Amino acid sequence: MIIVLDFGSQYNLLIARRIRELGVYSEVHPYNLPASEIAARGATAVIFSGGPGSVTHIALQPDPAVMDLGLPLLGICYGMQVLAHLRKGRVEGSKIREYGKQILRIDRESPLFSGCTEPFQAWMSHGDSVTKRPDGFRVIASTAGLPVAAMEDRETRQFGVQFHPEVTHTPQGSRVLENFVRRIAGTKGDWSLGDFVKASVKRLGEQVGSGSAICGVSGGVDSTVAAVLSHQALGDRLYPVFVDHGLLRKNEAEEVFNFLTGMGLKVKKIEAAGRFFEKLRGITDPESKRRCIGETFIRVFEEEARRIPGLTHLIQGTLYPDVIESQSVKGPSATIKSHHNVGGLPEKMDLKLGEPLRELFKDEVRKVGHLLKIDPLILGRHPFPGPGLAVRILDEVTPEAVTALQEADAIFIEELRRGGVYDDVWQALAVLLPIRTVGVMGDERTYGQVVALRAVTSLDGMTADWVDLPRDVLERTATRIVNSIPSITRVVYDLTSKPPATIEWE
């Protein structure tokens, strides 16, 4: 097992993920995890992650005893500076800052670069740099402006790289990590996601003990996988609650309910559409809508939670990208959109939080879902926002608007499936616009609403590209929408990427 000490880089879980892809289990822990803990957990090596800190100013320091464990150590970016600092090298704020792709000269004799070729392209993002290598270290990579881009002390098996091997912009980065994990640390690679499932079920069982847990299910991949996993750990002490807010896709509420009960979960379905529409009356501002839905959701959920005797835990299907997004909310970057979840509830009701998927990425969650024998149709579903169709109706949310949009959306999804392109698209959606345009049908002049279609590819929703869908798919979708939904007279296609646009329109 490899322990990654987290110095605050947004890539730190990516390091763990890359190592897991090598078949080696890896966990991320706070930077100051005591050395005794690292030893107790049976780590075979330690990685210092990158981070926004600066060794030259305020330094986040690991437990110095980590250096005496005799374990192989790899410092990445800020982590390399920490290593250099602890080994009495010199780190300085340099005049030249390096951001983005750089070409490195590497020493291919170093075990860290074994099997790598030149040119070696790597992703850098740093202001400080190591200006004097510590005693015992050799320089094993450099760039035109950076004399120490990587260093090694083979005797103590301590290595440092100023670049980020974990990102895809460093094409040979996985090789570097593999060299460290296998060749240098000698760690066997026989871990699999199946082991993750077993360990997660066990851990959740221990966490909840003799208590019981509530979880919200929405039909989305994350909450479904979290619920099925938790059900394996807790059986009937898991109370899945499905709040139907009336803003789901056509027929989705029944499908979700039938599927989950079919998997043996005792799902409680709460019909709350009327209550949500009531609360949403007159609201058009996107953030107010989100807040209104979030608050109403929490209220409904809380009422249900209070009915469950002896409730101790709330389980959420939080994934790693959600963890990053909420971290950035606390940090300097602005909240782009407030994401709705049942936050606030745990403290208010004195519940402990269980997040069995928080170390995983979406595609890993899908793989876990397959292992749990969840229907591939559910696992392959496009992401769907918590506030549902409300953020795709760019106006007041009324039952009529929802019905029209549900129809348009269902036609679009059906045509994507018929055209065999549904799985090539990360997310597809229809949006009901608050404008009316003139049309003609038969001999009649019409004056109706516009539907915009959007389809994007993405890895994690953070960035996205619009998809050049086959013409016949677009054409059939548009024709069917206009022919079958009386209030809609025009269909347009969205050609913007994220950034500058977001995926949803609100």
Q: Which residues are designated catalytic? A: 77, 164, 166
Selected binder of ligand XMP within 52, 111, 211, 383 (CB under 6 A): 383
3-state secondary structure 128-144: EEEEECCCCCEEEEECC
Per the annotation, does 220 bind a ligand? yes
Written as six digits, the tokens of 53 are 């800190």
| 400-429 residues near ligand XMP, rule: CB under 6 A | 427
* SS3 label, residue 73: strand
Per the annotation, does 219 bind a ligand? yes
Per the annotation, does 218 bind a ligand? yes
CB of 336 to ligand XMP, least distance (A): 6
Per the annotation, does 222 bind a ligand? yes
Pick 162 or 427: Cβ nearer ligand XMP: 427
Written as six digits, the tokens of 352 are 């402990």
If one asks whether residue 366 binds ligand XMP (CB under 6 A), the answer comes out as no
If one asks whether residue 291 binds ligand XMP (CB under 6 A), the answer comes out as no
Selected binder of ligand XMP within 62, 240, 386, 448 (CB under 6 A): 386
If one asks whether residue 502 binds ligand XMP (CB under 6 A), the answer comes out as yes
Q: Return all residues near 44 (Cβ < 8 A) that are at least 6 apart.
A: 1, 2, 71, 72, 185, 186, 187
Pick 131 or 458: Cβ nearer ligand XMP: 458
* SS3 label, residue 313: strand
Pick 278 or 287: Cβ nearer ligand XMP: 287
If one asks whether residue 296 binds ligand XMP (CB under 6 A), the answer comes out as no
Q: Return all residues near 378 (Cβ < 8 A) that are at least 6 apart.
A: 219, 221, 224, 259, 369
CB of 338 to ligand XMP, least distance (A): 7
CB of 363 to ligand XMP, least distance (A): 14
Distance between CA 289 and CA 419 in Å, rounded? 34
Q: Which residue has the tokens 């070696």?
A: 120
Written as one string, the DSSP assignment of 467-499 is ----HHHHHHHHHHHHHH-TTEEEEEE----BT
If one asks whether residue 385 binds ligand XMP (CB under 6 A), the answer comes out as yes
If one asks whether residue 387 binds ligand XMP (CB under 6 A), the answer comes out as yes
**Other Cβ atoms closer than 10 A to 358:** 16
Selected binder of ligand XMP within 183, 269, 436, 498 (CB under 6 A): 498
Selected binder of ligand XMP within 164, 290, 381, 480 (CB under 6 A): 290
Cβ atoms of 391 and 504 within 8 Å: the answer is yes
Selected binder of ligand XMP within 339, 358, 436, 476 (CB under 6 A): 339
350 closest CA partner among 310, 392, 408, 406: 310
Per the annotation, does 458 bind a ligand? no
Pick 383 or 470: Cβ nearer ligand XMP: 383
Per the annotation, does 223 bind a ligand? yes
Stretch that binds ligand XMP, among 10-18, 140-148, 363-371, 495-503 (CB under 6 A): 495-503
| 433-472 residues near ligand XMP, rule: CB under 6 A | 461
- Which residues face 46 on adjacent strands? 3, 73
Written as one string, the DSSP assignment of 83-137 is HHHHTT-EEEEEEEEEEEEEEEEE-TTSGGGTT--SSEEEEEEEEEEEEEPPTT-
Stretch that binds ligand XMP, among 43-51, 199-207, 380-388, 436-444 (CB under 6 A): 380-388
Strand order in the sheet with 90-106: 26-30, 2-6, 45-48, 73-76, 158-161, 150-153, 138-142, 90-106, 120-132
If one asks whether residue 219 binds ligand XMP (CB under 6 A), the answer comes out as no
Estimate to the nearest angstrom the gap between the alpha carbon of 254 and the chain centroid: 27
Question: Residues touching ligand XMP: how many (CB under 6 A)?
Answer: 15
Residues lying near ligand XMP in the complex (CB under 6 A) are found at 290, 336-337, 339-340, 383, 385-387, 427, 461, 498, 502-504
Point out the annotated binding site for ATP: 218-224
Point out the annotated binding site: 218-224
